[in-house]
Structure 1
Amino acid sequence: MPTHTRETEIVADPTVPLIRMTREFDAPPEKVFRAHVDPDLLVQWLGPAKNEMVIDHFDCRTGGSYRYLHVDGDAQYGFHGSFHEVRPFELIIQTFTFEGAGDGVSLEKVVFEDLGDGRTRLVSTAMVDSFEERDAWLVNGMQEGVREGYQRLDTLLAS
């Protein structure tokens, strides 16, 4: 099956401090979901290619938690959170904290929608504490990291 580079739509909700990211993949929901929950696969695509991803722990199940680092030379960026609900091939609800940004916590929901013909639409929403925090995410490289990560995920899913 040919793989096409898809566009990632990133939209800031004007009424609440929420970011919605939508992306289609040329792979079935089972494969796209597995790439989100298997740490051996996750390190191959999550975030910018210039960063090495190092997992401290990753227990992707309802009630589980995670912590990982993105390493760029001498710089390390830590992230951690908890998995509140994990439904195979359908849904992940988790918290997300960037350890370099104070005590802000994002509540994230990732939905894997089966489009048929071996394709999936992923819709990810991230609700943050304030409009200011949301806007800071959008101007501090988050968009580029998400788009580049999803391009890397395309390559992984095609292999």
Structure 2
Amino acid sequence: MTKIKDQLIVSVSGDREVVLTRLFDAPLDLVFAAFTTREHLERWWGLRKTTTRVEVLDFRPGGAWRFVERTEDETKYVFRGMFLDIKSPERFVWTFEYEGAPGQISQTTFQFTEEKGKTKMTATVLFASDKERDEMIKAGMEYGAAESYDVLDELLLQIGGLA
């Protein structure tokens, strides 16, 4: 398998949704594990110049999650939510809240499909309003996601024994 670095595709759907689509050159089980296990998430979540600590990851319907991302100057960004639905390894749904904007809670459905050893990830993010969606886009949602997924792509090569 050769590494193919596909780009993140971002589209706006309806008045409250953003859809992120990314193809990873790795099998479904490996990609799903990277999205749902502490040791993998801490290696790819966030920007390259940040570190992430997974404080809580109770991967079951009704279970909580909480990630703390720190920048080089020790600025802290905390994200949290709850798992609503899980169908391993094809999909999971969680709520997402940035603690710096309390009360602005979105819901993301992650869908994973495999074809010829590659995995397509589609994340459909539903915001409470078009205003919240537009604020998240303006804050750089797609750039942060693209960088994180690039790091994930590199990690998948390592953990898949391809590096």
Letter aligned with residue 92 of structure 1: F
Report the equivalent of 1:40: 39
Letter aligned with residue 86 of structure 1: I
- Judge conservation of contact 2:21–2:123 (CA < 8 Å) in 1: yes
Asked if 1:109 corresponds to 2:112, the answer is no
The 2-side partners of 1:156 and 1:138 are apart by: 26
Q: Give me the CA root mean square deviation.
A: 1.0
The 2-side partners of 1:120 and 1:31 are apart by: 9
Give the share of equivalent positions with the same residue, in percent.
30
**Deviations 1:85-124 (CA, angstroms, capped at 9, x unpaired):** 1111100111010111131110110000111x21111000
Following superposition, the deviation at residue 129 of structure 1 comes to 1.1
Report the equivalent of 1:78: 78
Letter aligned with residue 138 of structure 1: I
- TM-score normalized by the length of structure 1: 0.95
Asked if 1:134 corresponds to 2:125, the answer is no
Report the equivalent of 1:30: 29
Report the equivalent of 2:151: 152
Letter aligned with residue 155 of structure 1: E
**Equivalenced residues, count:** 157
The 2-side partners of 1:9 and 1:81 are apart by: 24
The 2-side partners of 1:61 and 1:102 are apart by: 23
**Deviations 1:45-68 (CA, angstroms, capped at 9, x unpaired):** 112111110121111122211111
The 1-side partners of 2:74 and 2:88 are apart by: 36
Unaligned runs of 5+ in 1: none
The 1-side partners of 2:153 and 2:63 are apart by: 27
Report the equivalent of 1:99: 99
Which consecutive segments of 4 or more residues in structure 1 shift more than 3 A? Answer: none
- TM-score normalized by the length of structure 2: 0.93
